Amino acid sequence: MLRYEYLINRRVLEILDAAEEGERGRLLAAFDRLENQPEQAYDFLERGTSGADIRCKFFGDWLLRYRVDSPVRQVIVVDCHLT
């Protein structure tokens, strides 16, 4: 299987930076799971402002919103927050 990589935007980077160590570890583990299994089942789908599908998946107390760009093998995390 070809390797994917995850990308995060500035907002997600700020959330990650502000998170306590344990929460940061859980977020990074969730990012890794998306990177390793980009086509895994998601919990629900939203339509982004550009019209692109945004997948939404709960990882414990965190909700991650992301896009999968298969041609370039990237998972783009566009938002995350505690639920």
* Residue-level pLDDT at 49: 82
- Residue range 56-78: mean pLDDT, rounded: 95
* Residue-level pLDDT at 69: 93
Whole-model pTM: value is 0.90
Kindly report the average pLDDT of the chain as a whole number.
Answer: 93
Residues 3 and 65: their CA atoms lie apart, in Å, by 20
The torsion angles phi and psi of 38, rounded to 5 degrees, stand at: -65, -25
Taking the domains of the chain in order of start, what are their residue ranges?
A: 5-82
Beta bridge partners of residue 66, listed in sequence order: 55, 77
Q: Which two tokens stand for residue 48?
A: 């982004």
Q: Is pLDDT at 43 greater than 90 in this prediction? A: yes
Residue 1: band (very low, low, confident or very high) from pLDDT cuts 50, 70, 90: low
Cα-based distances in Å from 46 to 23, 30, 53, 83: 25, 19, 6, 17
Task: Give domain 5-82's CATH number out of 1.10.10.10, 2.40.50.100, 3.10.50.40, 3.30.2310.20.
Answer: 3.30.2310.20
